[in-house]
Chains A and B, each alone.
Chain A
């Protein structure tokens, strides 16, 4: 349907959950929300086909989509939660240490503006344990930016999101889950999918520091996010409240069974699989 369904290997995770081949997920009859946002769940500029379902993470996003004229939204929950359902359980006892820090990132269309150096200083002054910087591929492949972070700690990248069904790192979320489980805290300078995933994977979330900004970014949205989710902002938010809030945003409790999800995505077993 749309190549964003394959971003971060979402379609692949959903296929594995549904008992299908995770390397070759069939075409999804609709649009899967590919990241946390405060609009209708779709990415900017997604060419939407009228009447087709959009599969959003949370009931709140569904209500927002409805108010924006998207009538066919169905809540399925975030693919990351589906991964948690079938991934191997966290080893016991958990060996977590330090913080995994996700600096606000840019993408092909917009780069981040702001001082990475000052941000690193604030992070190092705040975090007490070792810090792993997880850069988005966009910054990871920028040698200058990566070098700044490498001076302060370990630097990783979960993989490439993918574009037009090409070069997708289908183990992106698996990599992310593995890293999150190795850390006690997850932090960023912007509330984002990674913070929610971290909270769901058992990290204590925090959002602090210079929020920086994207080229041509509407900063009113960022301010609205801070007002709406204060429980997730700050250097040390109350972990349990933050976790509940994060799980609600991911659609915890709304996950469909494999059989129901197969029907929703157009993957029922008696239908011929259509390649994506």
Chain B
């Protein structure tokens, strides 16, 4: 059933996909069965349906065509702008995993972030839960985006405030403060990668601080690697995400924060037992839920290799290459964790590859990383050197010609490749000039030598005989012509 609450947009379809994905599905699955839930803003229909199978769901959307599609699925829908939502109806939980940016329509007041939060809080029953995604305007996804958030690119950007909405919390600590101001107690806060719309990794600040930093930074890099394959970016988000996690800045630079907050419960009747059990969410969510086992300790092989290359630490590079090729030669360096002498696959589910050394050579070359073999500027030579440095047999390995896995298309890498090509060209031109001078010098020497050979070659008698033979040959030719 659709209830039009006012401010709905009749001909409007959202131009960006709704929040969704398996990890969000896991989170909504944790809401208590049988509760009444308001799903505010656009969400993946699959996620809504899964939730509706366990709870009583009401959807709030501004797009009327979207409301009709949800209604056709048999869902209860409120269609209109957030500012028209009243506290006449209240829910046990509000799910706003799309954030609050798509709750106000073009009609009526345009709430800022805090006002949106207050409006959602006002429709919670005492003790009610708020599951909210907050985009970080300083998140990795923003830092690498070639387009600024304040550039109005899409039809829904009728008020592109970006980082200029001062009511938005700029850090996890400020987010907790804003929630507290609205009497919302923070039960759980997780930093999310690679995007607010569909995170595949969420970790609490405590997990990021005390957990295995290597595996978590690797997971952050891997999450952004999948999301940014072949996408245009300013700089490589994999390195930025991993470096932030390693530096203890994971939560501050994550693309989004997910919070589970609870409105203060009604004061219990005197002597009545506390019935609500607090909802406990895991410290780390990976893919579609908590990881199957403990995360491996150690550092990501790719990062160790790059570090050793940048240090020009040849013994370390050779040790890592040799250990890698002996233990897991079919896993890319971005999927191998190294702890001491042990090389383990981070995700055993990734299909094996035969071209991992070539892929690492590509990383070194396209990323413009300094490495111990700077004169090897072509992929084939560098791959062959890595092959030899890994202690593998054969001087010229058959280098697989499969396509490299898609990686972020970074503006910084392009700049570096341009610089590198200019360097190569300048070197080649300088060499050609040296060669030309050398040829001119040797030509002069050769000419001199020929003159000397002609002048002094052979004895007097030999030269006379040669002269006579030449005269005789010419005379014979003349006689033949006459005949």
A residues apposed to B, CB below 8 Å: 29-30, 47, 49-53, 59, 62-63, 71-75, 253-254, 256-257, 259-260, 262-264, 268-270
Whether B434 contacts A47 by the Cβ 8 Å rule is yes
Q: Is the CB of A62 within 8 A of B388?
A: no
**With A254-B315, A257-B388, A268-B395 in contact, do A50 and B431 touch (Cβ < 8 Å)?**
yes
B370 to chain A, nearest CB (A): 9
Report the minimal beta-carbon distance from A47 to chain B, rounded to whole angstroms: 7
- Answer yes or no: B391 CB below 8 A from chain A CBs: yes
Closest residue to B431 on the A side, CB-wise? A49
The reply on B54 being an interface residue by CB < 8 A is no
Chain B 312-344 interface mask (CB, 8 Å, partner A; 1/0): 111100000000000000000000000000000
- Across the two chains, which residue of chain A brings its CB closest to B437? A47
Q: Give the number of residues in B that approach A within 8 Å (Cβ atoms).
A: 26
A260 CA to B391 CA in the complex, in Å? 8
A197–B289 alpha-carbon span in the complex (Å): 61
Asked if B384 and A59 make an inter-chain contact with CB atoms under 8 angstroms apart, the answer reads no
Beyond the given A50-B427, A260-B385, please list 11 additional residue pairs across the A-B interface where CB-CB is below 8 A: A49-B430, A50-B430, A51-B427, A52-B431, A71-B423, A75-B312, A259-B394, A263-B388, A263-B395, A268-B395, A270-B395
CA distance A253 to B314 in the complex (A): 8
* Given A71-B374, A259-B388, A269-B312 contact (CB < 8 Å): no
The answer to whether B312 and A59 touch across the interface, beta carbons within 8 angstroms, is yes
* Contact A260–B388 (Cβ < 8 Å): yes
Instruction: Decide if B396 is an interface residue (CB 8 Å cutoff).
Output: yes
When the two chains form their complex, are residues B427 and A263 in contact, meaning their CB atoms are under 8 A apart? no
Q: Are B396 and A268 in contact (CB under 8 A)?
A: yes
Residues of B close to A270: CB separation below 8 A: 395-396
User: In the complex, A59→B308 CA distance in Å?
Assistant: 13
Does B372 sit within 8 A of A, measured CB to CB? yes
The residue of chain B having its C-beta at the shortest distance from the C-beta of A59 within the complex is B312
Any A CB within 8 A of the CB of B381: yes
Give Cα A30–Cα B315 distance, bound, in whole angstroms: 22
Cβ-closest chain B residue relative to A259: B388
Contact with A along B401-445 (1 / 0, CB 8 A): 000000000000000000000011011101100100000000000
Can you show 6 pairs from A to B with CB atoms below 8 A apart? A47-B434, A49-B431, A51-B430, A52-B375, A71-B374, A73-B374
A263 to B397, CA, bound (A): 12
Q: Chain B residue with minimal CB distance to A252?
A: B315
Q: How many residue pairs between the two chains, A and B, have CB atoms under 8 Å in the bound complex?
A: 72
Residues in B whose Cβ lies below 8 Å from that of A264: 373, 385
Q: Given that A50-B426, A51-B424, A260-B388 are known contacts, is A62 also in contact with B312, CB under 8 Å in the complex?
A: yes
Closest to A72 in B: B375
In the complex, B389 has a CB within 8 A of chain A: yes
Partner of A53, one of B375, B396, B431, B434: B375
Point out the residues of chain B lying under 8 angstroms from A269, CB to CB: 395-396
The reply to whether B431 and A263 form a contact with Cβ atoms under 8 Å apart is no
Question: Which B198-248 residues sit within 8 Å CB-CB of chain A?
Answer: none
Check A51–B315 contact: CB distance below 8 A. no
CA distance A260 to B384 in the complex (A): 8
Chain B residues with CB under 8 Å of A59's CB are 312-314
- Across the interface, which residues of A come within 8 angstroms of B428, CB to CB? 51
Which of A29, A263, A264 is most buried by chain B, counting CB atoms within 10 A of its CB?
A263
Q: How far, in whole Å, are A73 and B370 apart by their CA atoms in the complex?
A: 11
| Residues from chain B with Cβ under 8 Å of A52 in the complex | 375, 431
Report A183 CB to chain B, min CB distance, Å. Answer: 30
**Which residues of B lie under 8 Å from residue A30 when comparing CB positions?**
375
For B429, give the chain A residue with the smallest CB separation: A50
Is there contact, CB below 8 Å, between A72 and B381? Answer: no
Nearest A residue to B385 by beta-carbon distance?
A263
A51 and B384 in contact, given A260-B389, A270-B396 (Cβ under 8 angstroms): no
Known: A49-B431, A51-B428. A259 touches B374 (CB 8 A): no
Question: Separation in Å of the A226 CB from the closest CB of chain B?
Answer: 27
- Contact residues in B for A75 (Cβ distance below 8 Å): 312, 314, 372
Complex CA gap A47/B435 in Å reads 12
The closest CB in chain A to the CB of B426 belongs to: A50
Distance (whole angstroms) from the CB of B391 to the closest CB of chain A: 7
List residues of chain A with CB within 8 A of the CB of B314.
59, 75, 253-254, 256
Chain B residues with CB under 8 A of A263: 381, 384-385, 388, 395
Contact partners of B313 in chain A: CB under 8 A? 59
User: Closest residue to B396 on the A side, CB-wise?
Assistant: A270
The residue of chain B having its C-beta at the shortest distance from the C-beta of A75 within the complex is B314
Which residue of B is nearest A55, CB measured? B375
Find chain A residues with CB under 8 A from B372 CB: 74-75
Q: Which residues of B contact A51 (CB under 8 A)?
A: 375, 423-424, 427-428, 430-431
Kindly supply a per-residue 1/0 record for chain B positions 94-113, scoring 1 wherever the CB is within 8 Å of any chain A CB and 0 otherwise: 00000000000000000000
- A49–B434 contact, CB under 8 A? yes
Q: How far is the CA of A63 from the CA of B312 in the complex (A)?
A: 9
